[in-house]
Amino acid sequence: MRVRLPGWHLMRVRNAVLAAVLAAIVLAVTMHAPARPEASSPPTAIGGDDAGDKRATTTYDGAMVRKRTAIAVRPAKGADRAHIRAELTEAALKSKVGPLGEATFAVFSEQMLRYLVPEMTFVLPEGVPLDRGDAFMRDYQPADVAFYVVQPVLVHDLTFAVVPAAGRTPASVRDSQDAEGILADTLNRYDTTVQPAGVTVRYFGAILSDPAIASVRAAMGRAAGVPADRVQVTANEAGPGIDLSHGGPDLDADVPHHGH
């Protein structure tokens, strides 16, 4: 089985005016990536090690990478996924676990994916420990969930932001990047927001490789009419996050698989 896993370097903003404008969009933490390539044919995503079950290699770590508790769900035959989603969402709020996020199965480890490829993946809020997530599912497992596994995972939680060149509006940037499709191919799930000064794209999910992130920056730069290095990348959460410079934590060594 192979999955597409939708990877960063810090740099200083060379233009103080641009930095001031971006600060109104997101907290300015600027990044380094290759300049936007010239292309005579329709652009495609830049290749990296995002294909496969192993975690992609990235230098965009620290506050951009978070450790979370995730729930892999295998619905019963004929189950209504919308019902499962609604029931678990309501139960999470009722039990004060907090709001559930969703992601693709690619957040899980290679070892877990060898025996279960979940059809639905829910991610608990920052700070919810594994045993709390396991207790939540024991107490609130929907009747139409055939099997579930609770596992620690690493996720990328970050935002891309760009201020368009003169003559281009934020709305036109959004429309152009959506029409090109590189963001959809690379990120799978993302949220685009049109701001008064520019466009932000929030991504939460499996670790992205550096080439994947370069693809997103290049695509947003093309849409905005600016070089890729003018597309800024920031962490969505404060704090140190996870350092991956030495490979990161061995999540499978933390605890055995929790599943029912």
Please give the chain's pLDDT, 260 residues, in tens. 333 333 333 333 333 334 444 444 443 333 333 333 334 345 555 555 555 557 788 999 999 999 999 999 999 999 999 999 999 999 999 999 999 999 999 999 888 898 889 999 999 999 999 999 999 999 999 999 999 999 999 999 999 999 999 999 999 999 999 999 999 999 999 999 999 999 999 999 999 999 999 999 999 999 999 999 999 999 999 999 999 988 888 786 655 555 66
Predicted structure pTM score:
0.78
CA distance 218 to 238: 26
Annotate 118-175 with DSSP letters as a single string. Answer: -SEEEEPPTT--HHHHHHHHHHH--TTEEEEEEEEEEEEEEEEEEPPPTT--HHHHHH
Dihedral of CA atoms 113, 118, 120, 125 in degrees, nearest 10, equals -40
